[in-house]
Structure 1
Amino acid sequence: MKLGCVLRTLALYIFAAILWAVQILPSASFETLQCEGPVSPGESRRHTDEDVTNPNEAGYQIKGYTFSEPFHLIVSYDWLILQGPSAPIFEGDPLVLRCRAWQDWPLTQVTFYRDGSALGPPGPNREFSIAVVHKADSGHYHCSGIFKSPGPGSPETAPTVAITVQELFPAPVLKALPSAEPQTGGPLTLNCQTKLSSQRSAVHLLFSFYKDGRTVHSRGLSSEFQIPTASEEHSGSYWCEAATEDGQVWKQSPQLEIRVQGPSSSTASSTYNPASQKSTAPKPTPTENSESLPPLTTPSEHEGFSPDPHLHHQMGVLLKHMQDVRVLLGHLVIELRELSGFLKSETTKTPDK
């Protein structure tokens, strides 16, 4: 008698599993399979694996037909399942997850989880959505809920589904042509380099360019910014930004220092050599220098002062001139002191005579 009860129970369980496998397909989002392509409906037909010589190759052909990428259909017999997107999901896409019960039986206390952490309080909503996903939204998702009648009336948990948000395009890199140190009067081209995923090649990116915190070119289709004639005023810190047309995904490049080389920077050392003048001028002692003139300071000694490197070079040349003038003034002060002492001694000797 007990064996018969066990067999009947087992048969009912197997029947329920088969019924669930049959009925989840109509209730899920995979009800309709549609073949889209550049062929008319009358020319398309279905093929099985036996008709294909090498089904692992993408875009393979046989007998004049072109095949689509493989599509994996999963039929589950769990009480509760979490339905995710069937196609790859990229940055900027919306994400919708559905917590589905067997035969769409009513649920309460539905909760969605990512990597084991609840994404909100329990409630009646069977859908969880993210309007714009980013790579940080990748993870392992699942849901849980409590069945109402005619369900089992107990809490159930759906198997975990892995969601991977793919990168739409990498962060751009700013390149300078011909170099980051062009000559004055020559051309300068800045190229904001990045690449869209091959699966989203139809997406259009807009490029913006910035210099020293201000915009020099905003939201253009070209990834290049051209300066026909570079001058020293074009020196500075540049970076670029690549963004989708809707602005949902945008990424910036690292900063690139541009230093336009002017003629003054190359000829300054040849027109003036402070070392030669220092060797001919007499050098006063440190005591005499400290008494006669205050010490000179450079701009780098002041906190919070960071001049343009080219301007800093010009100021360095000027400071060298001032140092030489200071040496000459120190020598002049010594000579004046000696002359003053000599005149005083002559003045005191004259009355005695």
Structure 2
Amino acid sequence: MKLGCLMAGALYLSLFVLWAAQMLLENKGKWGAKRQLDGVKKYAHATAASFKTLQCKEPVHTEESSCHMEDDLTDPREAGFQIKGYTFSEPFHLIVSYDWLILQGPAKPVFEGDPLVLRCQAWQDWPLTQVTFYRDGSALGPPRPNREFSIAVVQEADSGHYHCSGIFQSPGPGSPETASAVAITVQELFPAPILRAVPSAEPQAGGPVTLSCQTKLPLQRSTARLLFSFYKDGKTVRSRGLSSEFQIPTASEDHSGSYWCEATTEDNQVWKQSPQLEIRVWGEFSSECRVSGVCV
């Protein structure tokens, strides 16, 4: 496939750049190479500092490799990542930096409730001191030797532009460096639920009423599970169930009141409540109402 050929060509080019950078370091010496390359693009930085192995963890369908014309390919997004018998993973974006110091963030989308780990990575993993992490230009703490910064449970408010700074301990004299900023966007795991009543929020007594707590997980987290609770007038009527519905088989005037629901993750890290919904159950018509047509 043409896609496979392009990927192979990009891999060969990356390996060539890596070999060229390593040869330059061997000929000039580590610190000499830093001065030599300072001010020009050093494309092999990420690969030389921390070369990663990419693995496809799902079953792979193999076919004879070949290259095809562009009109033989369809958009993977429209084909469910399947092209002529091939199954593709979700795209993975690899960014090769040319800086002496980079901030490594998560490769996958970050949702509220997730842990967030950022790493201040130096060229060739040289030792650093006085490492400081920043969000939107403000320091997140005093300088320290730890290269990692973590947030156990992120919220949407943790979104921002992060970067780090540090001082190289060796080789040579201490040299302060600052990494380029990386945008971290914490996405909403699910919107606040909406409570709806079927058939109506003003049902007739004696009939059934179903309360539905409506929200939706994103496609990337569609396998996650939410638990739902229902409340009436400040009291729990059903706590932490997998069903997003609460049924009243036979409504009576006693069921009238102010209802709301709550959706939460199984670990209780993310929870959200719906706005209140007033339920008013109407009683049976009186004989006077039937005769006069005036009902109070």
Q: TM-score, normalised to structure 2's length?
A: 0.78
Tell whether the 8 Å contact from 2:192 to 2:215 is kept in structure 1 after alignment: yes
Aligned to 1:141: 162
Tell whether the 8 Å contact from 2:45 to 2:97 is kept in structure 1 after alignment: no
Cα distance in 1 between the residues matched to 2:70 and 2:56: 17
Q: Which has the higher strand share?
A: 2
* Pairing partner for 2:76 from 46, 50, 57: 57
Deviation for aligned residue 1:36: 2.2
Cα distance in 2 between the residues matched to 1:123 and 1:141: 17
Cα distance in 2 between the residues matched to 1:188 and 1:65: 48
Q: Give the match's secondary structure for 1:189.
A: strand
Q: What letter corresponds to residue 156 of structure 2 in structure 1? A: K
Amino-acid identity (%): 71
Q: What letter corresponds to residue 111 of structure 2 in structure 1? A: F
Deviation for aligned residue 1:102: 1.1
1:35-184 alignment, distance < 5 Å: 35-39=56-60, 43=62, 53-54=72-73, 56-58=75-77, 59-150=80-171, 153-184=174-205
Aligned to 2:251: 230
Tell whether the 8 Å contact from 1:243 to 1:249 is kept in structure 2 after alignment: yes
Cα distance in 2 between the residues matched to 1:131 and 1:117: 20
Deviations 1:275-294 (A, max 9, x none): xxxxxxxxxxxxxxxxxxxx
Deviates more, 1:220-229 or 1:144-153: 144-153
Cα distance in 1 between the residues matched to 2:57 and 2:172: 39
Deviation for aligned residue 1:158: 0.5
Deviation for aligned residue 1:24: 2.8
Deviations 1:31-51 (A, max 9, x none): 1100122337xx389899988
Cα distance in 2 between the residues matched to 1:231 and 1:253: 23
Q: TM-score, normalised to structure 1's length?
A: 0.66
Aligned to 1:190: 211
Aligned to 2:238: 217
Cα distance in 1 between the residues matched to 2:254 and 2:155: 39
The verdict on how the C-alpha distance between 1:181 and 1:47 changes in structure 2, with shifts beyond 3 A counting, is farther
Say whether 1:25 aligns with 2:47: yes
Deviates more, 1:72-81 or 1:218-227: 72-81
Aligned to 1:249: 270
Cα distance in 1 between the residues matched to 2:100 and 2:67: 31
Q: What letter corresponds to residue 57 of structure 2 in structure 1? A: E
Tell whether the 8 Å contact from 2:45 to 2:98 is kept in structure 1 after alignment: no
Cα distance in 2 between the residues matched to 1:155 and 1:148: 9
Deviates more, 1:70-79 or 1:148-157: 148-157
Tell whether the 8 Å contact from 1:52 to 1:62 is kept in structure 2 after alignment: no
The verdict on how the C-alpha distance between 1:12 and 1:115 changes in structure 2, with shifts beyond 3 A counting, is closer
Say whether 1:13 aligns with 2:36: yes
Q: What letter corresponds to residue 36 of structure 2 in structure 1? A: Y
Cα distance in 1 between the residues matched to 2:141 and 2:205: 60
Tell whether the 8 Å contact from 2:76 to 2:82 is kept in structure 1 after alignment: no
Q: Give the match's secondary structure for 2:44.
A: helix
Deviation for aligned residue 1:13: 2.1
When Rg is computed on C-alpha atoms for both structures, the one with the higher figure is 1
Aligned to 1:328: none
Cα distance in 1 between the residues matched to 2:74 and 2:35: 39
The verdict on how the C-alpha distance between 1:188 and 1:169 changes in structure 2, with shifts beyond 3 A counting, is same
Q: Which has the higher helix share?
A: 1
Q: Give the match's secondary structure for 1:25.
A: helix
Number of residue pairs matched by the alignment: 263
Q: What letter corresponds to residue 39 of structure 1 in structure 2? A: V
Cα distance in 2 between the residues matched to 1:80 and 1:92: 29
The verdict on how the C-alpha distance between 1:146 and 1:102 changes in structure 2, with shifts beyond 3 A counting, is same
* Pairing partner for 1:239 from 260, 279, 296: 260
Q: What letter corresponds to residue 243 of structure 1 in structure 2? A: T
Deviation for aligned residue 1:263: 2.9
Tell whether the 8 Å contact from 1:105 to 1:151 is kept in structure 2 after alignment: no
Tell whether the 8 Å contact from 1:172 to 1:193 is kept in structure 2 after alignment: yes
5+ residue gaps, structure 2, are 1-27
Q: Give the match's secondary structure for 1:136.
A: helix
Aligned to 2:5: none
The verdict on how the C-alpha distance between 1:213 and 1:166 changes in structure 2, with shifts beyond 3 A counting, is same
The verdict on how the C-alpha distance between 1:52 and 1:93 changes in structure 2, with shifts beyond 3 A counting, is farther
Higher relative CO (CA 8 A, sep ≥ 6), structure 1 or 2? Answer: 2
